[in-house]
């Protein structure tokens, strides 16, 4: 096989085309992946892991690419990132207020998506539509805008009493979910949660919580030649050399005819990729 590139791996770049255009990020370089569909690939972990934040070598990756000291001290690794309703910025205890200003105290979108089925989610407004492609959603509908990450967390907690907030990655990779009427699902959800929405408006003000009207459902197509019937997941810690024909790319996964690999999970790993 011919070596194409090597370097420290980060989450894939994705651009909303038809189908989505993917690039594999290795250090400062980006390898276009769509042209490799149908080709035999070999991806090898070179035995080194570098922290995606500070760059120091680490024996183990934490939280998708961080060394342990960064995992312990960075606000972006805090539990409130996963559970934004626990945000403590207003209490003055955010570990990195400047980071909080840039990432948490910004407009967020509450959305419905169809990834492995119907789900509700939140993301920074600047991350639309990247967040949906990262999750492998085939449909997405933004339906609320709020002024901060904490507010989006409160909204998500309310909505997930009626709609799941997680993607079943195995079902997403099998590609067997059909289209949904997200507009009908949105209207149903807003009706079910009308009292809770009124409470949020009373708490944060009328201008903090806005329902988006006149927004169409976005349909997303992925570069997939065939979906697997059975999911075999690779782990670079155990499978240091992975080979197979690239039959698809979806979410942050490479789909090979021999198994699937979540590239984002192994951010910080130094790898070499070859093809023929």
Confidence band, pLDDT 50/70/90 cuts, at residue 91: confident
User: How large is the average pLDDT for residues 134-161?
Assistant: 97
The pTM (predicted TM-score) of the whole model is: 0.94
How far, in Å, CA of 57 to CA of 61, rounded? 10
pLDDT per residue as tens digits for the range 93-112: 999 999 999 999 999 999 99
The yes-or-no verdict on residue 59 having pLDDT over 90 is yes
What confidence category does residue 143 fall into, taking pLDDT thresholds of 50, 70 and 90? Answer: very high
Calculate helix-pair angle for 149-159, 194-204, nearest 10 degrees: 160
How does pLDDT run across 172-182, given as a tens digit for each residue?
Answer: 999 988 999 99
| Domain residue spans of the chain | 2-67+222-275, 72-219
List of residues 6+ apart from 274 with CB closer than 8 A: 1, 2, 3, 4, 41, 42, 43, 44
* Beta carbons within 8 Å of 125's beta carbon, 6+ residues apart: 106, 107, 108, 109, 145
- Which residues neighbour 235 within 8 Å (Cβ) at sequence distance 6 or greater? none
Each residue's pLDDT tens digit, 11-56: 999 999 999 999 999 999 999 999 999 999 999 999 999 999 999 9
Q: So what's the pLDDT on residue 72?
A: 95
**Res. 206: pLDDT tops 90:** no
Confidence of residue 212 (pLDDT cuts 50, 70, 90): very high
From the list 184, 188, 166, 181, the residue with the least C-alpha distance to 116 is 166
Give dist(CA 188, CA 197) in Å, integer. Answer: 13
Contacts of 91 (CB under 8 A, 6+ apart): none
Q: Write down the residue that tokens 């980006």 correspond to.
A: 30
Q: Tokens 């594999």 appear where?
A: 24
Among 147, 148, 145, 119, CA closest to 132? 119
Give the list of residues 6+ apart from residue 65 with CB closer than 8 angstroms, or none: 10, 51, 52, 53, 267, 268
């Amino acid at each position: 096989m011919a070596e194409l590139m090597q370097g420290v791996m980060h989450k894939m770049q994705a651009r909303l085309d038809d189908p989505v255009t993917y690039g594999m990020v290795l250090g400062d370089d980006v390898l276009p992946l769509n042209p490799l569909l149908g080709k035999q690939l070999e991806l090898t972990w070179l035995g080194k892991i570098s922290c995606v934040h500070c760059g120091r070598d680490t024996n183990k990756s934490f939280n998708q690419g961080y060394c342990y000291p960064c995992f312990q001290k960075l606000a972006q690794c805090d539990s409130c990132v996963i559970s934004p309703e626990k945000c403590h910025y207003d209490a003055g205890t955010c570990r990195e207020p400047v980071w909080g200003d840039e990432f948490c105290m910004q407009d967020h979108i509450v959305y419905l998506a169809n990834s492995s089925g119907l789900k509700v989610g939140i993301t920074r407004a600047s991350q639309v539509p990247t967040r949906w492609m990262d999750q492998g959603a085939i449909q997405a509908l933004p339906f609320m805008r709020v002024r901060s990450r904490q507010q989006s967390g409160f909204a998500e907690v309310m909505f997930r009493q009626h709609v799941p907030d997680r993607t079943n990655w195995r079902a997403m990779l099998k590609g067997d979910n059909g289209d949904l009427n997200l507009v009908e699902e949105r209207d149903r959800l807003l009706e079910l949660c009308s009292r809770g929405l009124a409470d949020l408006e009373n708490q944060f003000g009328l201008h903090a919580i806005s329902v988006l009207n006149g927004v169409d459902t976005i349909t997303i197509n992925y570069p997939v030649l065939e979906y697997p019937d059975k999911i075999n997941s690779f782990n670079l810690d155990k499978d240091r050399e992975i080979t197979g024909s690239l039959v698809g790319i979806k979410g942050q996964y490479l789909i090979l005819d021999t198994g699937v690999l979540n590239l984002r999970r192994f951010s910080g790993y130094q790898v070499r990729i070859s093809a023929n």
